[in-house]
Structure 1
Amino acid sequence: MEFLKSGIKTVLGGTEPGQQPSAAETVEKLVDRVYSSTLLEDRRDACRALKALSRKYRIEVGAQGMPPLVQVLQNDGQDTEIISYALDTLCNIVTSEEFDEEADNPTVSVNVGGQFTEMFIKTPENVTMVMGYLDEYDFRVRRAAIQLITSLISNKTRELQDLVLVSPMGVSKLMDLLTDSREVIRNDVLLLLIELTKGNSNIQKIVAFENAFDRLFDIIREEGCSDGGIVVEDCLILLLNLLKNNSSNQQFFKEGSYIQRLAPMFVLAEEVEEAGWSPQKMSNFHCLLQVVRALVTPSNQHQVVTACQRVMQKSQLLNALCEILMSSGVPADILTETINAVAEVIRGDRENQHELSRVMAPSNPPRPVIVVLLMSMINEKQLLALRCAVLYCFECYLYRNADVQRTVVQTLLPSSATDVSSLSTGQLLCTGLFSSDALANWFSSVAIMHTLVENVALKEELLRVLLAPTGGQRPNTLLEMCTNLMQRERTRLQSKIGLLMLLSVWLAHCPGAVKALLETQGTTVYLTAQLCSNEHDEREFLFQGMCAFLMGLCIQFNDNSLPNQRREDISQLIIKRIGQETFCNKLGEVSRHEAYSRACKQAQIRAKSAGELLLDYEYCKLYKGLEALIAKLVSGFDVDGIELTELTLSSEASALVSQYKGIIRGMDAQIQTLQQSAKELGQENAELKEKLRAEQSLRAQISDQNTLLKAQLGATGQTPVQSQESSLAREEELNAARYQANMYFAENIRLNKEIEIIRQQLATEKQRADATQESLLATQKDQEDLLELLADQELKLASYEHKTTAPKSTENQSQTHAETASEEGIPSETANR
């Protein structure tokens, strides 16, 4: 520190005794020295002093020193030492990290680095200038430039990404630095590219097509693959950035045979199992699994997922993942993520699903891996994340595979219980379903539910499942046991919610299951009591909404084969005991609950705590498809032509009411037509927007190619030639390049015209949608007016009926008729007649 003070004193000159200059004054003098000094040595010393002060007095140096530092970068590029000082000082100013020297400085805010970054990039040429110093081979300059760009990107990611894209050969320069022989430079560039590729598909594509995958795999191999250090983790994080949500890069990764290079990294050496897993090994392996999942996650394009799943099976990557499942000593979080990866590799792929079913665990006796996983799922001592992963894997194992679904259901049927000593999938699911652990109940309910998804035949088969009787009683069916368990008071709410999901999926599109449920004693009474109760807990509201949905399914899929339990009987029960409005409000509680929005987002089950496990993705999909239909069934109008409301009016009144109802039905049909038209217009609008985005992306790519071509043309200057033949060959290349440039310009003009046409179409479609919306609102207003008129008419008819039936004298009757006639504007003589 004394040396630093003496150095600053040498630069600034001595001060009078007793006078200590403030930090701002010191910085001001140094800035003036940078501006005014004619000697390079003086400016260099001043920049060195500013660098030393920038860690403790960041605000003072940044506020006054940024313009002279930029000036140094512009004018003193021939001196690498002063450039390195200027770049290091700017990096200290804009970094988001807090230095130890400024910990006691109360004036430094949390976002001071971001504020200085915003000031620096207001002039885009500053970023281009710093990018230019990446070409400098000097270690200090190149590393300082890399670190400065990294700090700028971490603070203002989107803005810097745009500036790097327009910088001449900006991404290419960064990719070239990955081959720098100095590992420090290479490692810093990895960190820069990680920040640069976050959330920007265009940069991700450019980086991928700059041979990034080959270079990253080379670095990973050099560093020891999954057994390597932090550099391997950085490479895998960058690889994940390039693949996640980028279908173009995913396709390129698959077609480039990079999945085959990924597969050997999952093979565990025997010494690893003996020595254990180091923290860095766990981090590397976790990133590897994330890369695999980025290729086959359900949110990707279906054709990309299918193609990657096929390659993963042929390259033995799936087999290696299954080996990890069966290995001993694997850490719990790695095992959990491996199960999730296996789930998405097999999801919807029959060959991969059957390959998993053939994997046997090294137990005594050997058991299928699915059975071992389910044993972990119903074991309350296992970690929550692991149990959720097993359920997700089991769901993916069943997904769109009727053969596997049938196999699981057969293990529940009585005829399959041949070997009592061996555990089966069905036995484990029943054990969990009736366990004392509420979470095991929920997991097992959801697992059985997924065996029935989109398979009506198995729903009928599952009705044959009988459970062992207790106390000499007759055996109960599985559906009866589920219904009885749901009605028990000691059953926890989470278990009841799981059972309701199972029953709802079971009953949907299966009249036989509806009949069996209605025949179970007390079911209708229990559901009605739940809907009539007034609870004030959000989970109770959700439970009541699910009860309403189950009751609605009993109406929708009822074949009317049970006396007193037909569709109109249940509808009348809802109207009289619960009320139409109350029922619809209870039904809507499901979609209003946060668990619904959380479960609808993705098929994978995620929960930070056991209490968050309430709804499943498939149940939410079923509810979303049938909620509106069920609400309409109990809205008071027709159910397959059967009138739900009974009006005791005269024939004339009934005719009038029927007339109004006909008008309302017509208007309802018109509303549905308008809604369908609005939906179609919305879809067409979305398609046009997607087309516009694609055209804009293509235009940007062509613009990038055009810029590159211009740069190539500019670099091809006139040079002396030694022969006429070589002169002609240079001219031919220029003509070809100019022709290609003209083609790009023409294509750019064509795309601009197409974009303008699409914008006009979007404007027209928006006007049509607005007009349709206005017409819909007007129609709804007319319908409300008609309903009000109908209500007034019914009141008047009731009044007439009451007055005509009351015992009155002739004189009173005449007077009453006269009074009524006067109210209606009818002459009294006519009224008396």
Structure 2
Amino acid sequence: MEYFRSGLKSVFGGTSFWKPTDGTRNERLVSRVSTSTLLEDRRDACRALKALSKKYRLEVGAQGMDVLRQVLELDRNDPDIVGYCLDTLCNVTSKEIFEEEGENDINMKVNVGEQFTEMFLKNSENITLVLSFLEEYDFRVRWPAVKLLTSLIDSKPKEIQDIILVSPMGVSKLMDLLLENREVIRNSALILLINLTKSNANIQKIVAFENAFDRLFDIIKEEGGTDGGIVVEDCLLLMLNLLKNNTSNINFFKEGSYIQKLAPMFILPPNLEEIGWSPQKISNFHCLLELIRTLVSPNNPVQIITACQKTMRNTDLLEALCNILMASGVPADILTETINTVGEVIRGNLTNQEYFANVLAPSNPPRPAIVVLLMSMVNEKQPFTLRCAVLYCFECFLFKNEIGQELVIQTLLPSNAGNTTLTTGQLLCSGLFSNDYLSNWFSAVALSHCLIENPAQKEQLLRVLLATNLGAQPHTSKLQAKLGILMLLANWMAYCPPAVKIFLNVPGAMAFLTAQTSASEYDNNEELLQGLCAFVMGLCVAFNDNSVPNYSKENLSQLIEKRVTTETYSKKLGEMSRHEVYAKAAKQPQIRAKHSSELLLEFEFCKLFKVLEGVIIQALGIQRDLSNGISELSLSERENALLLQYKELIREQDKKLQELQKISTISRRKIKN
């Protein structure tokens, strides 16, 4: 008891927080527990302490915690007294503020429950002792033991995880609770395991290999699948904990044929419009979709993603997801997340991408699902999050898909076929030149993804009349529309001298870029526009074949040096990668924007900028006269790179020579002395 009292003094600065009368009453009860020889007396005293433990938590905890722990060891064969002790400890260590405590209690100022939890955990054997009571089937023992562990892990998750990890059969005892036929214990065990498995890969692996997935699928089935209650959601949340950022468990999940068990959950009943979606069904579906995305997340190793994508196709899970896309009566948030999920199931997988390209919407006449989705993207009346999801799905469809990129560009090219059906190209063009600045941005970014790592389509796109319009000053005053068009231009001209040539021939194009790059004032993210203009100017130098006499590499370099100045240009270009918007966009392929004003840069452009910023700086290096009268900028890229290598070698050799000279000088001085 003195141990806990001394601990409380260090935390609260003394023990004057309870009234003497209350302290005396609790002390008498604690004394009865520790000194009575009759089990009945000890049991009655423990029952009384439990009754007081909410209202007089501080007193009961300070005076009785050590005694209660002793009772758990000495009287463990009596279910009643063990239950009273566990319940009392649960109340004492709870983070919750009880109504009985009153508004002026010390717990309102300092969370007493957390302090008692900390004291209880100082001896790890206490947790081992509580875990041992999970083996008891008696409800009076097992139920309060589960509640106490849940309370403790809620306050100190990391500490409990560390103790349970080294406790013999600790995880196994918890997993056995999922087989409980008493739902209150089983359901509480689910919550306990959800908290236990957060951010701990080792515990996640143990739980997974303790047959967790089979047990969770059994519970989901018992509870009615996606139509079930919150218990189904808890099961899915626990699965998510086991799989997120855990490639070992994802591999185990895939090889254990658990993806096959997920597939039927996505099949919608034919009368869904009549039945409707309950709030709980929506929550369950969100968890299911997040589970699928966890398996095929772009952050996973490529081989795992590919294997999961293949399984999802072979088990008709991809088909079920596409059916949800085209179904009527699906809530907007579920539809949005399904679009994102389909995107990641097909991303970079040519077979899945081809399947998606052939999905038809049940319209009259039938239209490709891609066309229907793009119609939503360029429609300003559609929800913002839905439009973002469609763009991401379209980007995933084009990712490493040269065939898909070509099909989209083909719909933009002049044709004599007289085809009157609406195409992806027509939709992107309509969005690009609409009066809705968000449609401008979405369409420009979507079109740029048709060109990524595809030089052939960059040149094909030059055949489209669209090119002359793109090269001119953006037709809108909205910053986002300008950024979208400039990112499209950057993707188009990178590694494509013919595109640079066409752009340089557009009247006023360079004047616009020069004016923006040399501007000295900006606000509301205008620095991004100026940095992007500087980047596009740099591409015009780096990928210039000198076929436009007035805008050769040398002429453009001089233009930048005289009109912008090299210092200003470097500053504007450098500000791009240092901007918080750039850092956010470069994190992940999916656009994570809560508001339309956040749509500025996108992932693939940031990748391109990172690769080419150095190339541009090198191409625009400050001119230095060389011994033979030529300048660095008049050299080819290959010659320039070779020259830089030689310079670096000379610097290293010069540095070594200076070090040797210093050593030689020091040696001579020592010899003289």
The residue aligned with 1:82 is 81
Task: Determine whether 1:592 maps to 2:578.
Answer: yes
C-alpha displacement at 1:188, in angstroms? Answer: 1.2
The residue aligned with 2:665 is none
The residue aligned with 1:105 is 104
The residue aligned with 2:347 is 347
For residues 338 and 670 of structure 1, do their structure 2 counterparts lie closer, same or farther at Cα, with a shift above 3 Å needed?
A: farther
Q: What does 1:217-296 correspond to in 2, within 5 Å?
A: 217-296=217-296
C-alpha displacement at 1:193, in angstroms? Answer: 1.0
The residue aligned with 2:469 is 481
The residue aligned with 1:403 is 403
Q: What does 1:358-437 correspond to in 2, within 5 Å?
A: 358-415=358-415, 418-420=418-420, 422-437=421-436
Q: Secondary structure at the match of 2:96?
A: coil
Task: Determine whether 1:643 maps to 2:631.
Answer: yes
Q: Match for 1:158: what amino acid?
A: K
User: Residues 387-429 of structure 1, C-alpha deviation per residue, up to 9 Å, x if partnerless?
Assistant: 1111000000011010000000011111177223x21101111
Return the alpha-carbon distance in structure 2 between the equivalents of residues 281 and 230 of structure 1.
9
Q: Match for 2:468: what amino acid?
A: E
Return the alpha-carbon distance in structure 1 between the equivalents of residues 645 and 459 of structure 2.
37
Q: Indicate conservation of the 8 Å contact 2:93/2:116, yes or no.
A: yes
Q: Match for 1:512: what amino acid?
A: P
Return the alpha-carbon distance in structure 1 between the equivalents of residues 398 and 242 of structure 2.
31
> What RMSD in Å do the two structures reach over aligned CA positions?
2.4
Q: Indicate conservation of the 8 Å contact 2:621/2:633, yes or no.
A: no
The residue aligned with 1:137 is 137
User: Residues 119-167 of structure 1, C-alpha deviation per residue, up to 9 Å, x if partnerless?
Assistant: 1111111111111111111102101111111222222222211111111
The residue aligned with 1:45 is 44
Q: Indicate conservation of the 8 Å contact 2:346/2:397, yes or no.
A: yes
Gaps of 5+ in 1: 1-19, 467-477, 647-661, 675-774, 783-833
Return the alpha-carbon distance in structure 1 between the equivalents of residues 311 and 460 of structure 2.
36
Q: What does 1:514-553 correspond to in 2, within 5 Å?
A: 514-553=500-539
1:634 maps to which of 602, 607, 620? 620
Task: Determine whether 1:608 maps to 2:594.
Answer: yes
Task: Determine whether 1:623 maps to 2:622.
Answer: no
Return the alpha-carbon distance in structure 1 between the equivalents of residues 154 and 519 of structure 2.
54
Q: Indicate conservation of the 8 Å contact 1:292/1:341, yes or no.
A: yes
C-alpha displacement at 1:252, in angstroms? Answer: 1.2
For residues 118 and 293 of structure 1, do their structure 2 counterparts lie closer, same or farther at Cα, with a shift above 3 Å needed?
A: same
For residues 671 and 268 of structure 1, do their structure 2 counterparts lie closer, same or farther at Cα, with a shift above 3 Å needed?
A: farther
Q: Secondary structure at the match of 2:300?
A: coil
For residues 639 and 442 of structure 1, do their structure 2 counterparts lie closer, same or farther at Cα, with a shift above 3 Å needed?
A: farther
Q: Indicate conservation of the 8 Å contact 1:568/1:644, yes or no.
A: no
Return the alpha-carbon distance in structure 2 between the equivalents of residues 304 and 506 of structure 1.
32
Return the alpha-carbon distance in structure 1 between the equivalents of residues 454 and 507 of structure 2.
27
Q: Indicate conservation of the 8 Å contact 1:76/1:83, yes or no.
A: yes
Q: Secondary structure at the match of 1:81?
A: helix
Q: Which moved more, 1:517-526 or 1:662-671?
A: 662-671
C-alpha displacement at 1:31, in angstroms? Answer: 2.6
Q: Match for 1:602: what amino acid?
A: Q
Q: Secondary structure at the match of 2:571?
A: helix
Q: Which moved more, 1:109-118 or 1:445-454?
A: 109-118
Q: Secondary structure at the match of 1:636?
A: coil
C-alpha displacement at 1:665, in angstroms? Answer: 7.9
User: Residues 789-814 of structure 1, C-alpha deviation per residue, up to 9 Å, x if partnerless?
Assistant: xxxxxxxxxxxxxxxxxxxxxxxxxx
Q: Secondary structure at the match of 2:546?
A: coil
C-alpha displacement at 1:546, in angstroms? Answer: 0.9
Task: Determine whether 1:554 maps to 2:554.
Answer: no
User: Residues 418-453 of structure 1, C-alpha deviation per residue, up to 9 Å, x if partnerless?
Assistant: 223x21101111111111111111111100000000
For residues 211 and 609 of structure 1, do their structure 2 counterparts lie closer, same or farther at Cα, with a shift above 3 Å needed?
A: same
Compute the TM-score of the two structures, normalised by the length of structure 1: 0.73
Q: What does 1:550-589 correspond to in 2, within 5 Å?
A: 550-589=536-575
Q: Indicate conservation of the 8 Å contact 1:134/1:173, yes or no.
A: yes
Q: Indicate conservation of the 8 Å contact 2:391/2:442, yes or no.
A: yes
User: Residues 177-224 of structure 1, C-alpha deviation per residue, up to 9 Å, x if partnerless?
Assistant: 211221211111111111111111111111111111111111111111
Q: Indicate conservation of the 8 Å contact 1:56/1:101, yes or no.
A: yes
Q: Indicate conservation of the 8 Å contact 1:485/1:491, yes or no.
A: no
Q: Indicate conservation of the 8 Å contact 2:153/2:160, yes or no.
A: yes
- Percent of aligned pairs with the same amino acid: 61
Q: Secondary structure at the match of 1:564?
A: helix
Q: Match for 2:471: what amino acid?
A: T
Q: Indicate conservation of the 8 Å contact 1:410/1:416, yes or no.
A: no
The residue aligned with 1:165 is 165
User: Residues 449-505 of structure 1, C-alpha deviation per residue, up to 9 Å, x if partnerless?
Assistant: 000000011000001112xxxxxxxxxxx222123252x4x4200111111111101
Q: Indicate conservation of the 8 Å contact 1:545/1:589, yes or no.
A: yes
Q: Match for 1:491: what amino acid?
A: S
For residues 110 and 485 of structure 1, do their structure 2 counterparts lie closer, same or farther at Cα, with a shift above 3 Å needed?
A: farther
For residues 287 and 642 of structure 1, do their structure 2 counterparts lie closer, same or farther at Cα, with a shift above 3 Å needed?
A: farther
Return the alpha-carbon distance in structure 2 between the equivalents of residues 485 and 530 of structure 1.
11
The residue aligned with 1:797 is none
Q: Which moved more, 1:247-256 or 1:312-321?
A: 247-256
C-alpha displacement at 1:106, in angstroms? Answer: 4.5
Gaps of 5+ in 2: 1-18, 635-641, 663-673
The residue aligned with 1:27 is 26
Return the alpha-carbon distance in structure 1 between the equivalents of residues 38 and 26 of structure 2.
19
For residues 311 and 46 of structure 1, do their structure 2 counterparts lie closer, same or farther at Cα, with a shift above 3 Å needed?
A: same
User: Residues 347-390 of structure 1, C-alpha deviation per residue, up to 9 Å, x if partnerless?
Assistant: 01111111111111111221110011011111111111111111
Return the alpha-carbon distance in structure 2 between the equivalents of residues 95 and 417 of structure 1.
74
Return the alpha-carbon distance in structure 2 between the equivalents of residues 133 and 615 of structure 1.
56
For residues 57 and 591 of structure 1, do their structure 2 counterparts lie closer, same or farther at Cα, with a shift above 3 Å needed?
A: farther
Return the alpha-carbon distance in structure 2 between the equivalents of residues 645 and 320 of structure 1.
57
Return the alpha-carbon distance in structure 2 between the equivalents of residues 622 and 193 of structure 1.
43
Q: Secondary structure at the match of 2:333?
A: helix
C-alpha displacement at 1:508, in angstroms? Answer: 0.4
Task: Determine whether 1:505 maps to 2:504.
Answer: no
Return the alpha-carbon distance in structure 2 between the equivalents of residues 346 and 399 of structure 1.
9
For residues 609 and 579 of structure 1, do their structure 2 counterparts lie closer, same or farther at Cα, with a shift above 3 Å needed?
A: same
Q: Indicate conservation of the 8 Å contact 1:236/1:288, yes or no.
A: yes
Compute the TM-score of the two structures, normalised by the length of structure 2: 0.90
Q: Indicate conservation of the 8 Å contact 1:568/1:642, yes or no.
A: no
Q: Indicate conservation of the 8 Å contact 2:223/2:232, yes or no.
A: yes
Return the alpha-carbon distance in structure 1 between the equivalents of residues 316 and 361 of structure 2.
18
Q: Indicate conservation of the 8 Å contact 2:272/2:329, yes or no.
A: no
Task: Determine whether 1:461 maps to 2:460.
Answer: yes
For residues 88 and 103 of structure 1, do their structure 2 counterparts lie closer, same or farther at Cα, with a shift above 3 Å needed?
A: same
Q: Match for 1:157: what amino acid?
A: P
Q: Indicate conservation of the 8 Å contact 1:343/1:397, yes or no.
A: yes
Q: What does 1:599-748 correspond to in 2, within 5 Å?
A: 599-637=585-623, 643=631, 668-669=648-649
C-alpha displacement at 1:335, in angstroms? Answer: 0.6
Return the alpha-carbon distance in structure 2 between the equivalents of residues 312 and 195 of structure 1.
29
User: Residues 630-688 of structure 1, C-alpha deviation per residue, up to 9 Å, x if partnerless?
Assistant: 12332304699952699xxxxxxxxxxxxxxx9998554467999xxxxxxxxxxxxxx
Report how many residues are paired.
631
Return the alpha-carbon distance in structure 1 between the equivalents of residues 309 and 30 of structure 2.
61
Return the alpha-carbon distance in structure 1 between the equivalents of residues 651 and 583 of structure 2.
28
Return the alpha-carbon distance in structure 2 between the equivalents of residues 518 and 664 of structure 1.
29
Q: What does 1:165-244 correspond to in 2, within 5 Å?
A: 165-244=165-244
